[in-house]
């Protein structure tokens, strides 16, 4: 059970969810509509607070947040369930890998363990900042150079065109 305070919501949960949603869409070739991403991030952050307040073991919150993000992408971005699932999973996997690397790098560079950072509210907010900066740069690169892992949008468009022929 996490201790959730207002600064943690605004400076950890909300940016984390904004980055996750944006990266998920960018890696699958979908257009990033900032207003919709912000709405999804706010709703997902509030649901995340609720999930983290429940007495689940550590890590279960991520498992519960994945279906939530899938549903929110379906509702706000009008994606089908498969496209939404692929987008969400790709975002979770990429962020999970990058988070693991950055947790190691920041812990090694600062001497602060992840457990210490999770206990202190100030460190909890500051610890992921290098990761967030890197992920934002990654999103900008993906959008600028049209880098995608799975171009689901294009595949869906080709599938629709095939139906018209």
**What was the pLDDT predicted at 20?**
96
pLDDT at 1 over 50: no
For 111, left (φ over 0), alpha (ψ -120 to 50), or beta?
Answer: left
Rounded distance between C-alpha atoms, residue 79 and residue 85, angstroms: 9
Look up residue 60 and give its two tokens: 């279960």
CB 92, CB 20: distance < 8 Å: yes
CA dist., res. 126 & res. 101, Å (int):
16
Q: What digits encode the pLDDT tens for the residues 67-77?
A: 999 999 999 99
- pLDDT of amino acid 35: 96
Asked whether residue 1 is domain-assigned, the answer is no
Q: What is the pTM of this model?
A: 0.88
CA distance 44 to 41: 5
For the segment 27-33, the average pLDDT, to the nearest whole number, is: 92
Contact residues for 112 (Cβ-Cβ < 8 A; gap 6+): 106, 123, 127
Report pLDDT for 162.
58
In a domain, 33, yes or no: yes
| Contact in structure between 37 and 21 (CB atoms under 8 Å) | yes
pLDDT greater than 80 at residue 13: yes
**Structural domain containing residue 100:** 6-164
Domain total in the chain: 1
Residue at 31 is within a domain: yes
Rounded to whole angstroms, what are the CA distances from 20 to 4, 95, 132, 136? Answer: 20, 7, 10, 10
Q: Is residue 104 part of a domain?
A: yes
Gap between the Cα atoms of 3 and 71, Å rounded: 26
pLDDT at 27: 94
Percent of the chain with pLDDT over 70: 93
Q: Tell me the pLDDT of the chain averaged across its residues.
A: 89
Mean pLDDT, residues 97-116 taken together: 94
Evaluate whether residue 67 is within a structural domain: yes
């Amino acid at each position: 059970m996490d201790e959730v305070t207002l600064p943690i919501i605004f400076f950890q949960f909300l940016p984390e969810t904004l980055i996750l949603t944006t990266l998920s869409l960018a890696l699958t070739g979908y257009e990033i509509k900032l207003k919709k991403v912000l709405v999804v991030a706010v709703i997902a952050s509030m649901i995340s607070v609720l999930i983290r307040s429940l007495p689940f073991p550590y890590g279960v919150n991520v498992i519960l947040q994945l279906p939530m993000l899938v549903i929110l992408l379906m509702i706000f971005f009008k994606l089908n369930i498969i496209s939404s699932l692929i987008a969400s999973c790709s975002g979770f996997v990429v962020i999970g890998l990058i988070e693991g690397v950055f947790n190691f790098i920041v812990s090694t560079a600062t001497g602060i363990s992840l457990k210490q950072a999770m206990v202190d509210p100030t460190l909890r907010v500051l610890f992921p900042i290098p990761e967030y900066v890197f992920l934002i740069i990654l999103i900008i690169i993906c959008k600028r150079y049209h880098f995608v892992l799975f171009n689901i949008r294009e595949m869906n468009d080709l599938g629709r065109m095939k139906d018209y022929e």
